[in-house]
Chain A
């Protein structure tokens, strides 16, 4: 059994000031997940009449994207390709001191303690992160042939869980990796071609309108992404964006001539 010292960010609500509070986590077993370690601490806090630490989680299998906070300045903690719900205590040592705080980004205001508001991501998707295919309008699934390599690459983008670690890790708090992953997933598929230019322009416009910073190619996002989404997608999106811009210009020139 291990003992850890945790400095945890406590903040009652979006407007209240926050502060770090130090807790001792005793009887920590190696087999616990990080969140189970917090569960046990929370049970103890409730027993003492103190408010438990609020954190977001649901699947605890690394797929829903609900969980996420910084451990010693690292989004989702020290283990590569692992969400904090899948991080187990065997990654830590007896006596460790850890600082736990929420994602820090202007676009993700704190809701309470370690919970932040990531609804900006939903708004980016609303702007164009879809293929318009109203129910009932689809042709037979095998009428569309997709080379395996394209399907696989599209999948690598589609694997994003929308946790926000990329934004939290980025010194500029940019949302490029998130947006690029979706733009690439849909843009790599034949079904996604008709809306491709429109999609990238609209999604980037909304992204810029939220409080995210701009990308300066640092690559922290790729380093912390629990789904190992690659920086390559950002380059791809930038390429798409330029192409879409040129097309728009050509079209308006043509329109002016007519």
Chain B
């Protein structure tokens, strides 16, 4: 376990070893042609190939179910007690698709364009175009499964506009879109389990990847009930293990969401793409005290009717109803007259931080801004607001004890999503042959900032419509032989995993796992959160290795490995966050431009907006693990923009 303390200095390589493999041809024919060029596996042979799918959120369940339907022998893994619990279940707002059912000018090209622009021109055009094309199939697929999307009285599907889009292309299911989409995928998956094509391993956590003869050939897992360390062999491995926003400790992610699977794969050779591209969501319920264990997101859709404001005067402690209108600063409407309260996430988040830094924040601790529905209630009536957002208002009241029909909500930004993840090519394959990555776990389509309602779309596009083709193509092209169950690589990884588990239990220090996690989170939030600068990042790069060293000397994990041991589970995850945190800061330090969610204070326009440096940074930063955490190798995948013109994002 490395505990090196040097500040990262990246060796830069213009690499030829890794290639995105973007198919030739016009952008709207690439995927079609590529599918035609793919190798097929005959139905009779599919059963002979085993595919390991780690994760059963939207991306994993969809991939496992679809591969099972095709006839492959699929083994699917999740640390949850059921696939239906995955973090995807919590998505509220909706899922985008270029159906143009509203006839309001939407199209595949417009969704593609919006996504590339929203990502601040740091995503691959070809991938994003394919995503926009597949978006329409996703809605069809989900409706056929029985996903109860919102409908109009005539029986047709309803849409809304979401997250700064100027067309209504978001499909939704009350405030529970993620739940309904995941249940659809879960049911398709359980159907395959019933038919015997998929074996589901619940309460089973992947702790390492087995690479044998240069290919991903298996995983090593821990049974969370018995502690047994086991290996599973396969012909291809798919990681769909979600995002790593919990590196900030406080985030909107589910408590168990973690980076272990992708981090272990990274240390076995998979490059890590754009780790510093993390997204902060502007509307979350503020922290209420030291006991805070997570942050709750309030759907962005609230900004359709809520107005964001703070007092004009610094330190104004009057209750909101006693602050007259002319002493309020509706700062989003003031600064962004066109988009107003609907300004994109990164912009709205930074603006909130700015006013709180000026001591104009509201609520306990001064880290909050008002989201006020008074005008909407006057205009539309309380009933209309209750119909639109009733469940969100209820949730707000359960958590804060406040009735938002009477007093404005208080909101503050929180870590929410990661655009970064394992680097993958057009086939969603990592730099380790046979290792595929889907959903939030890969770095792919959102560039430096993700638009609202696009993560669900990407997870399902990967799972239902891309991986089933590209994994099959890999199997067809390589026709892998079986690896022997006693392959030395396998035994070696198993032993390493066991050694690590034992070591965590043997430290017997004095600090709890959570206390380390909180401290790491604070370092990340302070120095690598909404705004970043050279000095702060260097500071973080000193502190993280120190904290990691202390962790390995002083963490306290009680009991043994033979049964459910939740501290042990957390300890392994936090150990990996303590390493990943360093890579995030190294990446953030090297990218001296601002773009999307990555705001470098040194790089801003005169009026304080993010300033890209296209001359130096139009590339994906793909980091290779070298054996030293402080000195990863940087590989650059240049990005080419042929269909969208590079412009400075402006939401004024």
Contacts and interface: CB of A to CB of B under 8 A. Distances in A.
Contacts of B144: 131, 133, 137-139, 144, 191
B294 interface: yes
A61 B296 contact: yes
B137 interface: yes
B102 to A, nearest CB: 12
Interface string B362-385: 000000000000000000000000
B291 A40 contact: yes
Contacts of B150: 151
6 contacts: A58-B255, A111-B225, A125-B190, A141-B99, A142-B156, A158-B146
Contacts of B155: 145-148
Contact of B398 (A52, A64, A86): A86
Contact of B254 (A46, A60, A117, A139): A60
A184 to B, nearest CB: 11
Nearest to B292: A36
A186 interface: yes
A117 B556 CA distance: 28
B87 A130 contact: no
A63 B90 contact: yes
B488 interface: no
Contact of B188 (A13, A58, A86, A130): A130
Contacts of A112: 563-564
Contacts, number: 216
A90 B187 CA distance: 37
Interface stretch (B78-86, B342-350, B599-607): B78-86
Nearest to B67: A135
A50 B512 CA distance: 12
A138 B87 contact: no
Contact of A46 (B143, B173, B225, B567): B567
Given A36-B291, A43-B514, A147-B155, A126 B566 contact: no
A57 B255 contact: yes
A36 B514 CA distance: 12
A47 interface: yes
A129 interface: yes
Contact of A185 (B86, B148, B256): B148
Contacts of A132: 191
B236 interface: no
Contact of B82 (A31, A145, A162): A162
> Which one of B62, B84, B398 has the greatest number of beta carbons of chain A within 10 Å?
B398
Contact of A63 (B83, B137, B179): B179
A159 interface: yes
B395 A86 contact: yes
Given A54-B566, A59-B89, A130-B145, A135 B468 contact: yes
Contacts of B187: 125, 129-131
Interface in B273-298: 288-289, 291-294, 296
A158 B154 CA distance: 21
Contacts of B465: 135-136
B148 to A, nearest CB: 4
A86 B399 contact: yes
A146 B155 CA distance: 4
A99 interface: no
Contacts of B200: 122
Interface string B160-200: 00000000000001101011100100111011011000001
A128 to B, nearest CB: 8
Contacts of B512: 43, 46-47
Interface in B117-143: 137, 139-143
B464 interface: yes
Nearest to A62: B395
Contacts of A158: 146, 148, 180, 183
A88 interface: yes
B566 to A, nearest CB: 6
B563 A63 contact: no
B401 interface: yes
A96 interface: no
B151 interface: yes
B559 interface: yes
B498 interface: no
Given A39-B293, A135-B141, A137-B144, A111 B564 contact: yes
> Which one of B83, B200, B225 has the greatest number of beta carbons of chain A within 10 Å?
B225
A171 interface: no
B36 interface: no
Contacts of A64: 84-87, 89-90, 254
Interface of B: 62, 65-66, 69, 80-87, 89-90, 99, 101, 137, 139-146, 148-157, 173-174, 176, 178-180, 183, 186-188, 190-191, 193-194, 200, 202, 225, 254-256, 288-289, 291-294, 296, 395, 398-401, 464-465, 468, 512, 514-515, 556, 558-559, 563-564, 566-567
A87 B465 CA distance: 40
B622 to A, nearest CB: 30
> Which one of A87, A118, A134, A148 has the greatest number of beta carbons of chain B within 10 Å?
A134
Contacts of B186: 125
Contact of B69 (A32, A47, A135, A189): A135
A161 to B, nearest CB: 8
B391 to A, nearest CB: 10
- Considering the complex of A and B, which 7 residue pairs feature the smallest CB-CB distances, nearest first? A145-B155, A138-B144, A130-B187, A126-B194, A133-B144, A138-B140, A31-B288
B173 A140 contact: no
Interface in A11-29: 12-13, 29
Contacts of B400: 31
Nearest to B297: A61
B60 to A, nearest CB: 14
Contact of A133 (B145, B152, B202, B292): B145
Contacts of A12: 563
Contacts of B89: 59, 63-65
Nearest to B557: A46
A215 interface: no
A66 B146 contact: no
A11 to B, nearest CB: 10
A98 interface: no
A174 interface: no
A79 B563 CA distance: 33
Contacts of A179: none
B188 A133 contact: yes
Nearest to A140: B140
> Which one of A50, A63, A146 has the greatest number of beta carbons of chain B within 10 Å?
A63
A50 B310 CA distance: 46
B81 A61 contact: no
A231 interface: no
A135 B157 contact: no
A138 B148 contact: no
Nearest to A40: B291
Interface in A37-77: 37, 39-40, 43, 46-47, 49-52, 54, 56-66
Nearest to A135: B66
Given A39-B291, A119-B81, A88 B151 contact: no
A88 B84 contact: no
B289 A65 contact: no
A166 to B, nearest CB: 15
B216 to A, nearest CB: 24
Given A31-B401, A59-B85, A62-B395, 8 more contacts: A32-B291, A59-B90, A127-B194, A135-B141, A144-B143, A148-B155, A159-B179, A162-B84
Contacts of A130: 145-146, 187-188, 190-191
A59 B139 CA distance: 25
Contact of B85 (A13, A31, A62, A65): A65
A126 B193 contact: yes
B401 A131 contact: no
